[in-house]
Amino acid sequence: MRLSAYFLPTIKETPSEAQIVSHRLMLRAGMIRQASAGIYSWLPLGFRVLKNIERIVREEQDRSGAQEVLMPTIQSADLWRQSGRYDAYGPEMLRIEDRHGRDMLYGPTNEELITDIFRTSVKSYRDVPKMLYHIQWKFRDEVRPRFGIMRGREFLMKDNYSFDIDLAGAKRAYNKMFVAYLRTFARMGLKAIPMEADTGPIGGNLSHEFIILADTGESAVYCHGDFLDFDVLGQDIDYEQDLEPIIADWTALYARTDEKHDAAMFEKEVPQENRVEKRGIEVGHIFYFGTKYSEPLGATIATPEGEQVPVHMGSYGIGVSRLAGAIIEASHDEAGIIWPEAVAPFKVGLINLKPADGDCTTACEDIYGKLRGAGVEVLYDDRDERAGTKFAEMDLIGLPWQLVAGPRGIAKGMVELKRRRDGEREELSLDSALSKVMP
RNA sequence: CGGGGCGUAGCUCAGCCUGGUAGAGUGCCUGCUUUGGGAGCAGGAAGCCGGAGGUUCGAAUCCUCUCGCCCCGACCA
């Protein structure tokens, strides 16, 4: 993509409404624009990031055996009356009336709908287990939206729902999601730590929040430092195998949010030097809720013995749009965003320092063509701007690699390759620079 | 939903107390100069001062109402 043709409205000054760093940077980098309180438009750069996050989430859901569906944003109130949540949910639910006077709502979540889909078509134990997920916009009319995209009213969420004949089956589904989440966040370059969470009225220990550490996180979290060295991507995972050992590894050490924190236990279980006390952002939540919805909605299946039992369900959410902000909270510096490669809107930013210079521009066009030919996503700054502006904007939008070509270097056949993460620069020949950023 | 704050040029803000023809910086457009970290000089375009009522000869400024946005708290993926 040529920057001269790209819609990238960057802002030098910080918009006054943005307080936290991800919100400021997303506005400044031209990723999003606020439409109204807690509701945002995604501009080209931000949308690319959102799509990358979504893609990784989808790939890992599919890998775990979940199947993608797409349910509507607008739901009928009828189902919610059956589950008892139409009244229970309160003013957070955006209620709508259609032209016929029917009560509708903009879905804040989809348990009712998915349970309805399941109950009308699944009748036998032979048809489970199943995991159905979708990635869809939700709306929760928060009293006070804040933190930009991180806590908007409208947000993109992946929610998966598992259906099993009994608790043991549900536990297997839970474990699959647990591992899928570890992989999902790791692929995005995040250290996500599963922390014990409240299970509500169901009880048991089948509820975890996945938390990433960031100074600006919304809640205090406490965990063992060894979590930061765990590597899930290095493992070869077979989702049909028993995942219990992996779960055991990841739940053996202390990790709790402040709601569940027990200072005495923390100090007893974690040696002083390994105690991590930081702030965290919740990016995922998995939990088992048993027959909470299947019972009132009559989602029953027949056991091998012919008995009708309510199906056991779990629900597994990832805040897809929130992740865009969360990743920035976890990865930025004074100059701007630092994208992990997997979610970066482009892999390489090619800076032509002097478009007016024939040789320099010829070389840049050549590099641009070669990178694109190799399938590398590249944003080519071909604008007639000053060098300082180009450097500053490229740092701001945070592409992992910057390839800088100026007349002086080009005359010697050299370009500069800068790694955004640590600012390390290398003067390289054209070919070796290219080979470094090509797959 | 309680408490607080702010709506003036694309953005950041001054002007309001004490009423008298709308301001700065930055961004944008033109030209010249400059050219490896958000340049310099000169010129230019740009605002129903959030909206509606009211007070007044006269309102960005005072009063009333209203809408929007932000912050703290309670709540939350």
**Tens of pLDDT along A231-265?**
999 888 999 999 999 999 999 999 998 888 888 99
> What is the pLDDT, as a whole number, of residue A48?
97
Kindly indicate the confidence band of residue A18, based on its pLDDT and cuts at 50, 70 and 90.
confident
Chosen domain end from A337, A364, A387: A337
In a domain, A231, yes or no: yes
CA-based nearest residue to A132, from A311, A343, A283: A311
By percentage, how much of chain A surpasses pLDDT 70? 98
Structural contact between residues A391 and A351, judged by C-beta atoms closer than 8 angstroms? yes
Of A106-110, A145-149, A199-203, A351-355, the poorest mean pLDDT is in A199-203
- A365 and A320 within one domain: no
In sign, the C-alpha dihedral spanning A42, A45, A51, A56 is negative
Gap from A425 CA to B29 C1', Å: 37
In a domain, A225, yes or no: yes
Residue for token digits 């979590």? A227
Average pLDDT of the residues in A82-93: 87
Average pLDDT of the residues in A275-281: 91
What is the domain-level CATH number for residue A383?
Answer: 3.40.50.800
- A160 and A122 within one domain: yes
In a domain, A91, yes or no: no
In a domain, A104, yes or no: no
- A387 and A255 within one domain: no
pLDDT of A199 > 80? The answer is: no
CA-based nearest residue to A10, from A32, A29, A25: A29
- A266 and A137 within one domain: yes
Chosen domain end from A314, A337, A360: A337
Structural contact between residues A283 and A185, judged by C-beta atoms closer than 8 angstroms? yes
> Which chain B positions come under 7 Å from a protein C-beta?
1-2, 10-13, 25-27, 34-39, 68-77
Gap from A11 CA to B58 C1', Å: 40
Report the complex ipTM.
Answer: 0.90
Chosen domain end from A337, A361, A382: A337
- A199 and A273 within one domain: yes
User: A371: domain range?
Assistant: 348-437
Kindly indicate the confidence band of residue A203, based on its pLDDT and cuts at 50, 70 and 90.
low
What is the domain-level CATH number for residue A171?
Answer: 3.30.930.10
- A201 and A116 within one domain: yes
Q: Is A147 left (phi over 0), alpha (psi -120 to 50) or beta?
A: left
- A328 and A252 within one domain: yes
Q: How far is CA A418 from CA A204, A338, A424, A438, in A?
A: 50, 13, 6, 14
In sign, the C-alpha dihedral spanning A380, A14, A149, A57 is positive
Q: For strand B, which residues in window 68-87 of chain A come within 7 Å by CB?
A: none
- A364 and A279 within one domain: no
In a domain, A98, yes or no: no
Structural domains counted in chain A = 2
**Nucleotide nearest the Cα atom of A197 (by C1'):** B77
> What is the pLDDT, as a whole number, of residue A130?
97
In a domain, A100, yes or no: no
Strand B contact with A28 (CB < 7 A): yes
- A364 and A238 within one domain: no
- A352 and A287 within one domain: no
Between CA A401 and CA A339 the distance in angstroms is 10
Q: Distance of alpha carbon A69 from its chain centroid, rounded?
A: 19
- A414 and A332 within one domain: no
